Amino acid sequence: MRHPTLYDVIVIGGGHAGTEAALAAARAGARTLLLSHNIETIGQMSCNPAIGGIGKGHLVKEIDALGGAMAHAADRAGIQWRTLNASKGPAVRATRCQADRALYKAAIRCIVETEPNLQLFQQAVDDLIIEHGRVTGVVTQMGLSFGANAVVLTAGTFLAGKIHIGQAQYAGGRAGDPPASALAQKLRELPVAADRLKTGTPPRIDLRSIDFRGLEEQPGDDPAPVFSYLGTRDEHPRQVSCWITHTSEQTHELIRGALDRSPLYTGQIEGVGPRYCPSIEDKVVRFADKSSHQIFIEPEGLDTFEVYPNGISTSLPYDVQLALVHSIKGFGKAHITRPGYAIEYDYFDPRGLQPWLETKAIPGLYFAGQINGTTGYEEAAAQGLVAGLNAALAAQGKAPWYPRRDEAYIGVLIDDLTSNGTIEPYRMFTSRAEYRLHLREDNADLRLSETGHALGVVPQARYDALRAKREAVERELQRLGGLWATPGNVLGAAVERQLGITVSRETNAMDLLRRPELDYAQLTSVAGLGPPVARDDVAAQVEVQVKYAGYLERQREEIERQRRHEHTAIPAGFDYDKVRGLSAEVLLKLKRTLPATLGQAARVSGVTPAAISLLLVHLKRRD
């Protein structure tokens, strides 16, 4: 078949996975086409207009470190910023912003439209062209065909999407958008395992109808954090507060009384929903002993009165939604602008993917985003970037690339999905990573930008910024390492006088910084130990690297050890019952999955590093 227009890479879908995929492919040098239902909805947030959070913020930083768009768009759209876990260690600190929905979409569209090598076309894709077992192009709703060396599918919740509000149900990709039914049907004919998942969203409320008296205000942090390593606070629009309210006993009564009309409980919805973002009806049933649940009232933007009541996602009938909203403090007279709903959609078993997100069944076809069983913009964007980059690499005859678990949360995400699959919407948490101390938000650029530059997705300016930062950190570490305070020298006297620390032996500035009660700013305020570096990010990096040096070193050794044993074979017929100390759960999982190597065993969900050590000891004893 001849294709009138030939691209290196075609991306289907202009959501969070699709835009990052298209941008990465184009940046990596591939002539790229982004095909989406509607150019107006490029970068649209289907649900909560917020970016980042625990685990997700790490993904945003990594996407940014690899040249992606999400952090830049968030910097231009974030109207309330917070650092979560600010009082905890640097590994679990996470950036989150409430975004202005319209500004976010506009920022993404602007980045996509100004990317050289990338063209947009508004059309639904109805079919894939597959020749000799390999994807070679796509066919759109109006019968146009486009050829490509690689195709990245990022159809989100649109594949055979079915929307539920009470007993009412209709086909849709999300509220206000059509589903991708023809494409879903074609995909079901391919040798890729498909199933159904579900997600939901709360009703939206007119802010003017809320009584804020007695509700808790939640202002953002001041100064506000920034997402992109190249971003600045000046890019942020005007800042606003969020608010907090709670469900009441009456709310829960109403919900319990309406469960016989809930599509979740009548069996109407078959797909599994997100465990960590359950509907309010789910919460009331599962946590029956709780008399109240927290609700964050989050503005949807600066130029709209709509707010997002985070915590009451629901697919109950509209009359119940109205009653339950009215039973919540401050919402007594609230006007609902959009009903809440649940959506069921097709997703594909991600174990059918290579770790570079190409389908094993159809070479040249890549899957990314919600269709791989994940939930969340950040998870989608991260996969999109990897799929788009690899589609471009393949189109240029280059080897694939993907980060390892010890290099990036993106590596953890992809490895979890492709090794273990998922039967419920998967979201990222810091607890999913073994090497949290290494995979921090503050060092994603140091971890990834050099590789990104070599792969072509990180432009020279960003790479230069990275080198400047790395050199500044090195210089400062060396400077501190060379400053010695001794009992009786000038520096020692200054330390004793200004910090109240007794200098009883020769100590350098790095040792002083390791003391838990001292931070970098205090240390460098001492005469002779300053001046501090001008850049906050460099100062933060120096502080973390010095304070956690011992832990980081230990983790590095652990990573090395794991890497060495990655390919240690577990012989066929291996008797797991003979390994002493394995828990019943681990035993069951290993017997069920029968991993071929220790590396694979380590990636079976629920198999702990301690269990791997026991296996290793046993294998060594057998040899």
Binding residue numbers for FAD: 13-18
Q: Residue from 118, 277, 362, 428 that binds ligand FAD (CB under 6 A)?
A: 277
Q: Residue from 11, 17, 255, 413 that binds ligand FAD (CB under 6 A)?
A: 17
How far, in Å, CA of 535 to CA of 524, rounded? 13
203 binds ligand FAD (CB under 6 A): no
Q: Which residues 6+ apart lie within 8 Å of 532 measured at CB? A: 520, 521, 524, 525, 539
Positive or negative: CA dihedral 602, 606, 609, 611: negative
- Lookup result for tokens 């400062």: 476
Q: Which stretch binds ligand FAD (CB under 6 A): 94-102, 173-181, 346-354, 581-589?
A: 173-181
Q: Using CB under 6 A, which residues numbered 482 to 541 contact ligand FAD?
A: none
Q: Which residues 6+ apart lie within 8 Å of 610 measured at CB? A: none
Q: How many residues does the structure list for the chain? A: 623
200 binds ligand FAD (CB under 6 A): yes
Q: Which stretch binds ligand FAD (CB under 6 A): 205-213, 375-383, 440-448, 551-559?
A: 375-383
Q: Residue from 32, 41, 251, 315 that binds ligand FAD (CB under 6 A)?
A: 41
Judged by beta carbon, residue 276 or residue 551, the one nearer ligand FAD is 276
Give the Cβ contact number of residue 276 at 10 Å: 12
Binding site residue list for NAD(+): 273-287
Q: Which residues 6+ apart lie within 8 Å of 490 measured at CB? A: 528
Binding site residue list: 13-18, 273-287
Judged by beta carbon, residue 349 or residue 566, the one nearer ligand FAD is 349
How far, in Å, CA of 162 to CA of 6, rounded? 34
Residue 240 burial by Cβ neighbours in a 10 Å radius (0-12, 13-18, 19+): middle
Q: Residue from 150, 180, 582, 611 that binds ligand FAD (CB under 6 A)?
A: 180
Q: Which stretch binds ligand FAD (CB under 6 A): 172-180, 243-251, 430-438, 542-550?
A: 172-180
Which two three-digit tokens encode residue 35? 């095909």
183 binds ligand FAD (CB under 6 A): yes
Residue 475: C-alpha distances to residues 82, 182, 480, 532 (Å): 31, 59, 9, 12
36 binds ligand FAD (CB under 6 A): yes
Q: Residue from 128, 328, 343, 458 that binds ligand FAD (CB under 6 A)?
A: 343
Judged by beta carbon, residue 15 or residue 203, the one nearer ligand FAD is 15
Judged by beta carbon, residue 46 or residue 562, the one nearer ligand FAD is 46
Q: Residue from 169, 201, 262, 562 that binds ligand FAD (CB under 6 A)?
A: 201
Asked whether the beta carbons of 365 and 358 are under 8 A apart, the reply is yes
How far, in Å, CA of 72 to CA of 67, rounded? 10
452 binds ligand FAD (CB under 6 A): no
> How many residues bind to ligand FAD according to rule CB under 6 A?
36
430 binds ligand FAD (CB under 6 A): no
- Lookup result for tokens 């009232």: 297
Q: Which stretch binds ligand FAD (CB under 6 A): 32-40, 113-121, 415-423, 579-587?
A: 32-40
Q: Residue from 27, 37, 82, 105 that binds ligand FAD (CB under 6 A)?
A: 37
How far, in Å, CA of 590 to CA of 298, rounded? 44
Q: Residue from 55, 78, 147, 156 that binds ligand FAD (CB under 6 A)?
A: 156
376 binds ligand FAD (CB under 6 A): yes
Q: Give the x/- contact pattern for ligand FAD in 114-153, rule: CB under 6 A.
A: ----------xx----------------------------
Positive or negative: CA dihedral 602, 603, 607, 610: positive
Q: Name the residue type at position 93.
A: R
Asked whether the beta carbons of 446 and 56 are under 8 A apart, the reply is no
Q: Residue from 32, 136, 157, 545 that binds ligand FAD (CB under 6 A)?
A: 157
Q: Is 606 helix (H, G, I), strand (E, B) or coil?
A: coil
Residue 595: C-alpha distances to residues 225, 563, 566, 578, 590 (Å): 43, 16, 12, 16, 7
At residue 126, φ and ψ (nearest 5 deg) are -105, -20
14 binds ligand FAD (CB under 6 A): yes
How far, in Å, CA of 503 to CA of 117, rounded? 61
How far, in Å, CA of 308 to CA of 107, rounded? 21
Judged by beta carbon, residue 156 or residue 271, the one nearer ligand FAD is 156
Which two three-digit tokens encode residue 21? 């995929």
Q: Which stretch binds ligand FAD (CB under 6 A): 76-84, 352-360, 376-384, 475-483?
A: 376-384
Q: Residue from 16, 82, 93, 204 that binds ligand FAD (CB under 6 A)?
A: 16
13 binds ligand FAD (CB under 6 A): yes
Q: Is 298 helix (H, G, I), strand (E, B) or coil?
A: strand
Footprint on this chain of ligand FAD (rule: CB under 6 A): 12-18, 35-37, 41, 46-47, 124-125, 154-158, 173-174, 177, 180, 183, 199-201, 277, 343, 369-370, 375-377, 380
